[in-house]
Structure 1
């Protein structure tokens, strides 16, 4: 049984770093940090937690999404973990055969021995009385003060392109041909960058990424010797009670230190017919996905094409809500809407078939989701974008970037937008482009 203690960190930012660093001694860890963005109306959507962290697995579910609800029922507790994009193969008649550098599982969730929660006002520690007393749980927190911070000097790093500039442009031309032929309306095409022979301290990289690009859905995952360090601005899906909320992002423009240029970039995004068309198509796809599990007439677009500014980029975000039908469970909401439409395109299955045909890397956790499920079956999941994946044993780091291709897309402009989305990660590695 999980019991809760109220705790009072003197320095909350330092405490968050200590929790992340403590994962070096654990086989499994998930850290979710909203970085204080709950103040933004579109982002908050009745957000319950500004920070969630789970450390040390006492039970786990791997790879099979059809076993996930049974696992959560058996635990009757919080579970934390991730869904990889390639779970699509369990949900539809699809396959994945592109090379995979990182080799994360398709799915991983665990019941944590230690659970840390903050709503932005107070902190709680949840511990399991099968493993700990109140005294030993508090002793675990005291031990965090002794966690050391390894130095991580990132310099002279060689960035490799899985897809060359020329190959990218050729692939987009082929996608545009499919759009003109009527096979699809929109497709999210992604490309991979990777770094070989690199020895990282992932916890330090995650801290650096949050400093460079603070976002409302930052996530850190440790699965043995494999890691995810993410600065996602996007929510995939949240459930609170019977209410479902999805907030797809489509539409990006750069920030600029000059206020006039920055405002012009923001107004361009607000008025761009192309960016609006991308967003509206995916918003409609999300509406359709949620309608499959929602009470009749309950699906609403609460905000369409809202503009929100982050440290690196302006983004166009829509917000769709629905009431979950009484005969549907929390897992139904996920299996009918995953992978998220913002990372596939429309129609979804046709887009995913073409993604497999034209992309050169297996997506894995990229464009999947990281989050938690509560004992009541509530959940909150991000979209894994703007994220670094790392295989410590192979000493290989990887990240992917992509964008929505529509009939109005210009291949070179799409390539430039991909580099813009990669800019925060390149800053983390001190890479100029």
Structure 2
């Protein structure tokens, strides 16, 4: 065990306790509890040179959680450590100019952000009153050079309604959340390349005293099981999705938009556990962004192939995916399908448009001339699907950070369309149900400025014994309705 101390930029003393673990069993302390305790398990078990490496990060019983819906937010203490940390957060949030109201209790801080007023340039999104004002205040409070200490969780699709003037056509469920983030002070980290593992405990000094190591809340959340009978329900009737593809084709012909990504939802009763499902996904479909998030009354289990944003020392990256074919029955058939994918003008057009939008997004907040394409139509092969991928990077300008990167890219063209505003309004008009977590992002924002997030794709939402998954298709004028409907089912 090794202990070292450091201070945040604002002078908060922190002790860091690092304990080596056996890499083969390190995550057991997480997996033994995560089905019934709040926490997260994030795994990258897909390796691509210069893009993805293999690592695991997990925790249970975090100190704090940040939950938001529309303009309202709540920061909840989940144990004594959280109660000790709340006064530090209260000090930076009370009287914040971006908050319309704010209240504090020993167990929670709650508030409402001020409404946005008037027009603002895209690059100033994070300077507007929003949930990200709260996130930035927390990040600034704990900012240091230390990795791993940060916020972990998920950002939902509806966050975009805080920044775009879009009309909501669907009633949102009362229990829907737009954001759910954890602040853990105990984590397990595994480097799969070096086969090294260790636990990290942060003891943070607060006006109420030091936070404690390895504090277990004892709070559990019993799983709700469905009576699984194999029946899968779709939120579209037969032929309905194909009709919508035709509507998008007509809109493209009129010039309303270039492309739109429409999705449909599939649901079934679920009688297993989140961990069992997660382990099956990791085994059958290794991905750069595999995750299990237990939010208490709902869980997210995913194996996403697509980066949303990554920021490291000011380097801002995205890896848009567009173009998909199934893996063949053998190597020869797979090679032929890859050849057809690479030769498809339609698939090339889809990815080109998505990458152009990414480059435009980046250019708003990056050093002029720094945005460039690192890889073009690269092949990424997963267990059942093959994708074409571009790799884009830029250097953030001095006044911008990872929060700006998340906001300027909201949400990726690969899950919305182009131009984004009209594409997102079309999604709201034509899809049968709110997207909730789908096509948002999952990952972490460390207080040292590093961020790694994956698109919330290939993700199963578990709630009250029901498993729901959404899948979409990128639609252009040249789209074939039957083929696009089948693509959503293939995914």
| TM-score normalised by the chain length of structure 2 | 0.76
Aligned to 1:57: 62
Question: Quick check: 1:163 aligned with 2:236?
Answer: yes
Distance of 1:186 and 1:335 partners within structure 2: 21
> Retained in 2: the 8 A contact 1:59–1:110?
yes
Aligned residue in 2 for 1:183: 256
Structure 2 residue aligned with 1:132? 212
Partner of 2:480: 410
2:439 to 357, 363, 367: 367
Q: CA deviation at 1:216?
A: 1.2
Question: Residues 33-432 of structure 1 correspond to what in structure 2 (within 5 A)?
Answer: 33-35=43-45, 37-38=46-47, 40-41=48-49, 43-44=51-52, 50-63=55-68, 64-76=131-143, 77-98=149-170, 103-120=175-192, 121=194, 122-129=196-203, 130-133=210-213, 156-196=229-269, 198-392=270-464, 395-421=465-491
> Aligned equivalents of 1:154 and 1:298: distance in 2?
54
Q: Aligned partners of 2:282, 2:174: CA distance in 1, in Å? A: 22
3-state DSSP class of the match of 1:23? coil
Going from structure 1 to structure 2, the CA distance change for 1:23 and 1:113 (only over 3 Å counts) comes to farther
For 1:272 and 1:94, the matched residues in 2 are separated by 34
Query: Aligned partners of 2:401 and 2:251: how far apart in 1?
Result: 36
The structure 2 residue matched to 1:31, chosen from 37, 41, 56, is 41
In the alignment, which residue of structure 1 is the partner of 2:20? 7
| Cα distance between partner residues in 2 of 1:154 and 1:271 | 45
Where does structure 2 lack aligned partners over 5 or more consecutive residues? 1-13, 69-130, 144-148, 204-209, 217-222
Unaligned runs of 5+ in 1: 141-149, 422-433
CA distance in 2, matches of 1:101, 1:180: 35
Equivalent residue of 1:360, what SS?
coil
Q: How many residues align?
A: 397
Determine which structure has greater relative contact order: mean sequence separation of CA pairs < 8 Å that are 6+ residues apart, divided by chain length: 1
SS at match of 2:456: coil
**Aligned-residue offset at 1:60:** 2.6
For 1:331-363, what per-residue CA distance to the aligned partner results, in whole angstroms no more than 9, with x for missing partners? 111111111121111001110000000001111
Normalized against structure 1, the TM-score is what?
A: 0.86
Q: Deviations over 1:70-115 (max 9, x none)?
A: 1222344311011111101112112434355794410111211321
Question: How many Å apart are 1:305 and its aligned residue?
Answer: 1.1
Distance 1:309 1:334 in 2: 26
Contact 2:226/2:271 (8 A) holds in 1:
no
SS of 1:89's partner is helix
Contact 1:2 1:126 (8 Å CA) reproduced:
no
Residues 123-168 of structure 1, C-alpha deviations (whole Å, 9 max, x = no match): 23111323435xx58xx8xxxxxxxxx9x99963210010123100
> In angstroms, what is the RMSD of aligned CA positions?
2.3
Equivalents in 1 of 2:442, 2:487: separation in Å?
Answer: 24
Q: Deviations over 1:294-318 (max 9, x none)?
A: 0011000111111111111111111
Q: Which stretches of structure 1, 4 residues or more, deviate above 3 A after TM superposition?
A: 15-18, 99-104, 130-133, 152-155
- CA offsets 1:181-219 (integer angstroms, 9 cap, x no match): 1010011110001124x4441111111122221111111
- Which SS does the other structure have where 2:433 is aligned? coil
The structure with the greater share of residues assigned to helix is 1
Q: Give CA-to-partner distance per residue, 1:41-60, whole Å, 9 cap, x none.
A: 2632xx5x611223222123
Deviations 1:232-268 (A, max 9, x none): 0110100000101100110100012322111111111
